[in-house]
Amino acid sequence: MELWHAIVLGLVEGITEYLPVSSTGHLILASGLMGLNDTPESASAANAFNIVIQGGAILAVLGLYRQRVWQMLKGLAGREADGLRLAINILVAFLPAAALGLAFAELIDRFLFNAPVVLTLLALGGVYMIVLDRALVAPRRKADRGKTIDELRPMQALIIGLMQCVAMVPGTSRSMMTITGGVIVGLKPKDAAEFSFLLGLPTLGGACVYTLFKDFTNNDGAASMFEQFGWLNIVAGIVVSALAAALAVKWLVGFLNKHGLELFGWYRIVLAAVLLIAVLFGLVSFTPEQA
């Protein structure tokens, strides 16, 4: 991997992580076009790299929503009731994915990380968001109806958390499921997005820590991600991801207030078509050929 590869992947990750468009689909396309999946070893390292640079997206939310994070910390210390309520809701929403992720992550990667599944779910996710926006999001947005994040109840947070579990299947999009889940349980679109961002802190953070642990404790003799790509490239990817994610998050909140989710649905359908063409012409692959 060269430095410009790391910068491009950092941009792709940062821009797409919090948008409901599937960061996985974009990273597969970018990695394939740059030739980073040519061998099983490089593909494995690239997959780990793409997860670790989510750390940049985490830093972006920590910076933008530092007051919310501080509110939760004060709540956990018994100093603010609203902060404690929000922290409990985040924990409740996080637990289902944490439990299922540890149990099924490897099986999902082995049996569901393939072109038919990813492409199908990209397209179906697009249709799902178009229908949901027209039926629920647009009317609520125009009437300025819905709950704020401070009015969310634990049972509603659990529903969002269960919907996040669906995003374990590649091509679905964690942001899509949590934002639409928030809307379904009654949140305003911008508040659903904010809850999705905050829920990403433990969810993405856990994935980063788990991936780093696996990389550092790799016992099969293969070179680690750091050995293949180098520290400079990894740090560059994280920094670029943080900057891009910060811009994407600020843009998304304003966009949802004015336009809702439908455009993202159409975008997902177009992305599925582009990825299909790339797969058919051998430009990208989901299971790289043995070297």
What is the rounded average pLDDT of the residues 103-126?
Answer: 88
d(CA 16, CA 30): 12
pLDDT reported for residue 215: 79
Q: How far is CA 289 from CA 51, 116, 136, 284, in A?
A: 22, 17, 44, 11
Better-scored residue on pLDDT, 38 or 84: 84
pLDDT reported for residue 222: 66
Q: Considering the chain, what percentage of its residues have pLDDT values greater than 70?
A: 96
Tell whether the torsion through CA atoms of 10, 14, 17 and 20 is positive or negative: negative
* DSSP three-state, residue 147: strand
Residues 6+ apart with CB under 8 A from 69: 62, 198, 201
pLDDT reported for residue 289: 41
pLDDT reported for residue 211: 84
* Chain mean position to CA 152: 22
pLDDT reported for residue 107: 86
What is the rounded average pLDDT of the residues 107-127?
Answer: 89
Q: Residue 152 in contact with residue 92, Cβ under 8 Å? A: no
d(CA 260, CA 256): 4
* DSSP three-state, residue 136: helix
Q: What pLDDT, in 10s, does the model give residues 197-248?
A: 999 999 999 889 888 888 777 766 666 788 888 899 999 999 999 999 999 9
pLDDT reported for residue 101: 84
Split at pLDDT 50, 70, 90, the class of 123 is very high
pLDDT reported for residue 288: 45
Residues 6+ apart with CB under 8 A from 54: 13, 17, 204, 207, 208, 241
pTM metric for this prediction? 0.91
Alpha helices in the chain (DSSP H): 3-16, 23-33, 40-52, 54-64, 66-76, 81-112, 115-132, 138-143, 154-166, 174-184, 189-216, 225-229, 231-259, 262-280
pLDDT reported for residue 290: 34
* Chain mean position to CA 133: 20
What is the rounded average pLDDT of the residues 68-75?
Answer: 96
Q: Residue 146 in contact with residue 138, Cβ under 8 Å? A: no
Does 286 score more than 80 pLDDT? no
Does 33 score more than 80 pLDDT? yes
pLDDT reported for residue 228: 81
What is the residue-averaged pLDDT of the chain?
A: 89
Closest Cα partner for 49 from 81, 4, 13? 13
Q: What pLDDT, in 10s, does the model give residues 155-195?
A: 999 999 999 999 999 889 999 999 999 999 999 999 999 99
